Amino acid sequence: MTLDGHIKTGLAASILLLVKLPEADLGISASILPYVVFAFAIGNIGPDFTEFGGMRHRTHTHYPWYYVGFISVAYQLLLPLEFVGEYATFIWILIGYSAGCLTHIVCDIPYGKIPYLLPNRPVTLCRIPFDSVLNRVVEHTVVAVLIVVALASPDAAVYFFQSQDLSAPFLAVHP
């Protein structure tokens, strides 16, 4: 997927996350939810920007099991909250980033080599050229599906606007 496609799908997936995450009841505080969603959006472009030192594209940074393992270990640390205490916010942000990286990898599947089993052995399932019309169709379809799923939640808009205290900043500036 192109950088433009990753940015668009990351923003659409972030909207979905913002709407659905409170319903999931994972124990995430509403006060850190925007930070987790922001980390998720950044994670959506993260694998392409963390390649350094001559590392080949779509190798270790696109290995999904690193992110799955990190999310599993981090969430297990969050279960007994008294163990992590003040680090819970940081761990949730890292989970959001890792989940964004996984979304990036899933969106790269139609475009070629992804290391499914070994980090240095990418496998090609299919190959859509970046400059083709099909590329834009795939990118826009993913974005549309994510937004429709987010908006299909019966209480999506109601929950979002009820959970936000939109008057507080306005009143603080204009007494």
Residue-by-residue DSSP string for 58-81: TSGGG-HHHHHHHHHHHHHHHSSH
pLDDT tens-digit readout, 36-57: 889 999 999 988 888 777 777 7
- The span from the first CA to the last CA of the chain, in angstroms, equals 48
Tell me the C-alpha distance between 98 and 159, whole Å: 26
Task: Give buried/exposed letters for 2-29 (b at 16+ CB in 10 A, else e).
Answer: eeebbebbbebbbbbbbbebbeeeeebe
Distance of alpha carbon 69 from its chain centroid, rounded?
16
pTM of this prediction? Answer: 0.76
pLDDT tens-digit readout, 131-142: 788 888 888 888
| 171 band by pLDDT with thresholds 50, 70 and 90 | very low
Between 80 and 115, residue with greater pLDDT = 115
